[in-house]
């Protein structure tokens, strides 16, 4: 039996491992050994890069958190100081209110209970009044100029509706409060009152200010008068004019208003307010 096979069938395609040369096998092995370490090195490099990247992110987060905490702490301390200051101020104000409120509550309760007294020495006969022109009016009443029989100019305030009991009570309460205030040179004084039965109702008779309110007076002299910037210094010799003293160069003429007049207005207002603040009457 003949087993002759053609050799050309083995020579086609890739050679068998047994038929490969030593140089070919060495080249393939060397190529495989060279690719493996390079892949491992790339993996190591990527690993270190990832570690450094994560570490850097953590550092940035830590720095940002530290700065935020520092800023919030500073703001909290400032807010705390402001809050403590505000609380201290409120405490002082509350203590002052606690000292004032009991007096006002007591007098208001007396007034509401009709226990605030009226001094009968202020009672006047309405027949002794000569009513004059109207000076002003409000929602519940109006004020007239009048003259007593002893030739004293006064202002008379009365309710708009004499038959309205609420308006009459308001007038009576105001009379009682003015009686409690007593007399002070910088507070509008009560001259008298009419509380007995009267067809025109109760009346408040007070001082008459011929120049009106201070606001209207200042508005009028702003247009009609001139301003003189003059002051009285310590050591300036006064000049007597009746019961009034004035500095040299100043005049009682209302056509000229000076700094001295403005300071005098402010002083009289403050003096009157201090007096009213010391009286236990609700205002």
**What is the C-alpha to C-alpha distance for residues 194 and 198, in angstroms, rounded to an integer?**
8
The crossing angle, in degrees rounded to 10, of helices 22-112 and 165-181 is: 90
- Do residues 204 and 167 make contact, with C-beta atoms less than 8 angstroms apart? no
77/83 Cα distance (integer angstroms): 10
Q: Residue 239: beta bridge partners?
A: 246
Under the phi-then-psi rule, with left for phi > 0, alpha for psi from -120 to 50, and beta for the rest, what region is 249?
left
Mention every residue, 6+ apart, whose C-beta is less than 8 A from residue 138.
none
| 46 among annotated binding-site residues | no
Residues at the annotated binding site for ATP?
Answer: 158
Residues at the annotated binding site?
Answer: 158
């Amino acid at each position: 039996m003949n087993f002759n096979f053609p050799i050309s069938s083995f020579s086609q395609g890739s050679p068998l491992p047994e038929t490969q040369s030593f140089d070919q096998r060495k080249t393939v092995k060397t190529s495989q050994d060279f690719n493996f370490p390079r892949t491992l090195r790339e993996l190591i490099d990527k690993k270190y890069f990832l570690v450094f990247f994560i570490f850097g992110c953590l550092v940035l987060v830590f720095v940002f958190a530290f700065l935020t905490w520092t800023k919030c702490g500073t703001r909290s301390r400032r807010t705390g100081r402001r809050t403590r200051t505000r609380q201290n101020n409120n405490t002082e104000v509350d203590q002052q209110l606690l000292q004032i409120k009991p007096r006002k509550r007591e007098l208001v309760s007396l007034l509401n209970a009709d226990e605030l007294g009226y001094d009968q020495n202020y009672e006047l006969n309405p027949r002794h009044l000569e009513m004059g022109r109207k000076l002003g009016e409000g929602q519940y009443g109006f004020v007239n100029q009048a003259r007593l029989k002893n030739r004293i100019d006064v202002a008379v305030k009365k309710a708009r509706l004499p038959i309205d009991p609420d308006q009459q009570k308001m007038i009576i309460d105001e009379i009682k409060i003015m009686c409690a205030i007593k007399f002070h040179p910088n507070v509008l004084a009560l001259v008298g009152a009419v509380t007995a039965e009267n067809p025109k109702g109760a009346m408040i008779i007070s001082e008459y200010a011929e120049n009106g309110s201070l606001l209207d007076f200042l508005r009028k002299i702003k247009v009609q008068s001139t301003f003189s910037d003059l002051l009285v210094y310590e050591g300036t010799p006064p000049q007597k004019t009746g019961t009034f003293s004035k500095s040299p160069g100043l005049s009682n003429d209302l056509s000229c208003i000076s700094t001295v007049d403005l300071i005098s207005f402010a002083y009289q207002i403050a003096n009157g307010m201090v007096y009213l603040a010391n009286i236990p009457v609700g205002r």
